Amino acid sequence: MIIPVRCFSCGKVVGDLWERYLQLLDEGIPDGDAMDQLGCRRYCCRRMVMTHVDLIEKLLRYGPTIPMLEGIILTDTWIYRYNSAEKDRSKALA
């Protein structure tokens, strides 16, 4: 997931702190000191940044492949499967 823009508790903007926080950690600065340098003093905002797990970067590595989507038709609310040997896809929607 991406980091929330605002703290859930107090509403302070914390979305812009994430990249700088990671840079400080890469430089070897401890978590608490990195938060102090960023000006993040409230414990609720610290929680938002320190406990965030950046899943989007991990998930992007496992994108869908074309063969997996070959027999699937996506509509607004339904997913229909059709036989790929069938040329008339309208039968799958019936």
Reported as a single tens digit per residue, the pLDDT across 30-50 is 999 999 999 999 999 999 988
At 43, the amino acid letter reads Y
The whole-model pTM stands at 0.58
Region of 57 please: left (phi>0), alpha (psi -120 to 50) or beta.
alpha
For position 17, what pLDDT does the model report? 92
CB 80 within 8 A of CB 65: no
The SS3 of residue 37 is helix
The SS3 of residue 72 is strand
- The domains found in the chain, sorted by start residue, are 15-60 (1.10.10.60), 65-94 (no CATH)
